[in-house]
Amino acid sequence: MTTTKELLTKITALRGRLERLQPPSFPVAEQRSAEAVEEPAAAPTRLTFRAAQLLKSARVLLAELKDLADEPAMQNDESMASTLQREAAGLLDVVMRNLAAIPEGAAAQMRHCEGLQSCLAAARDKVNILQQTLAEERRDDQQVEMLATLLRQLATGEAIGLGGFLECARGIADGAILGAPLGFRSHPKGDVARFAAHHGLTVARVQAWVLRGEIPQRQRLAEALIPALIHDVGMLFVPVHVVFKAGPLSDAERALVREHTSKGRELALTLYPGGGWPVDAVADHHEYVDGTGYFGKNAESLDEPARLLAVCDVYAALASPRPYRPAHDPRTALADTLMLADQGRLDRVQAEKLLRLTFYPAGSVVQLSDGTVALVVGSPKVLVNPAKATVIPLRTPAGTAPAYPWPIDLAESHSLNILRALTVSERVQVLGRTHPALV
């Protein structure tokens, strides 16, 4: 049992004792003169209306906290979600303990409830943040599991067709068209299908952002994303210990990994029996234009979709955490990908399309030149000036929440620019308790 569950169990027992207190038989305390109400100086047997309502609200909050206790994110006491739940439970414990010690008399109870109302409100804020964060995580997990299931079916030879993959791709296309933020979260560990699905979704989101201007039609854009979703299906035939190895791979292990593109091509042919660019893109996503890829193909034998998928795959991999290294920040990931193009390994034209994401793609948490911490929500109007994106302030230079967190177009400001992206540890420290979905 986690520390938080133990605390919730104690609060439940305390609530049971409080439930035996009866609501007031006299009129609502707030409707009477506080001095006019006198109660016996014994242990309280009745609560004023306000105290009873406070208990009712605390009971509802306790039920919500208990419902959250079994969420997978809560099983790790070190997670930010668990920390938020523990802090909310601690505040609720303070409320319950003070209610258990509430004095007699309406006037005394009213004074007693003043501070408890603020304490309960703070706990409610934490629970609301936690519920919103977990809801977003559940949506992401459902999308990963949906694609992982499709990849497993494809790998086992089931005749599933393109329908399920197209449904996933439409959701990603819609998000890109609407400007949904890119996310580079940790990959699921221990399950290769979920790992391949998670990476496939990330690559597809990057590609959707790159292509949304070239292919504005939703259906065509979705169809163009399917190879990105399935490009790592061949990894399902690589042993788990190799996929999640934290150190360097041996020559034999690298050979196993290299074969995933060939296996992916075979499986892609079951979805595209006539072959064509989708199959070639899956087969060639680890080939480089200078011939240094998995099987030595060069620019002459690589078509444009395969070159673009290779670029998006490299960028997404660099910007995501891996078992053997932490994630690079988006600016570094973009710079490193462009450097590979400059060295002649990746296609320069396709790599430069990543500049549409800019150094700070939507969803990046950044520090502005005045010290404000902000969320990037829109790309710069002029790509040559990536420090002039559209942002929403999250923290003022003084470290407080802004009174009016309206979007700011930095292109219209002469003094404000993006200074840098925050590291993961900085995001946890600054935003972990208020915006855990952004860390």
| pLDDT single digits (tens) 266-306 | 999 999 999 999 999 999 999 999 999 999 999 999 999 99
Question: What residue type is assigned to position 16 of the chain?
Answer: G
Give residue 180's pLDDT: 82
Structure tokens of 292?
Answer: 């240094």
Give residue 383's pLDDT: 63
Half-sphere exposure of 284 (CA within 13 A, CB side): 24
Residue given tokens 């929440």 in the structure block: 401
**What is the C-alpha to C-alpha distance for residues 230 and 282, in angstroms, rounded to an integer?**
7
Residue given tokens 């964060």 in the structure block: 133
Structure tokens of 83?
Answer: 């920390």
Give residue 35's pLDDT: 38
Are the C-beta atoms of residues 198 and 205 closer than 8 Å to each other? no
Structure tokens of 425?
Answer: 């540890």
Give residue 26's pLDDT: 39
Positions in the chain short of pLDDT 70: 1-3, 14-46, 78, 381-384
Give residue 190's pLDDT: 82
- In the chain, what are the domain boundaries? 3-136, 161-356, 365-438
Strands 365-368 and 408-409: unpaired
Q: How far is CA 84 from CA 87, 256, 292, 434, in A?
A: 5, 42, 48, 9
Residue given tokens 């706990």 in the structure block: 123
Give residue 113's pLDDT: 84
Q: Enter the pTM of the model.
A: 0.79
Give residue 283's pLDDT: 97
Give residue 14's pLDDT: 67
**How far, in whole angstroms, is CA 114 from its chain's centroid?**
37
Angle at 103 between CA 102 and CA 109, to 5 degrees: 75
CATH code assigned to 161-356: 1.10.3210.10
Are the C-beta atoms of residues 410 and 416 closer than 8 Å to each other? yes
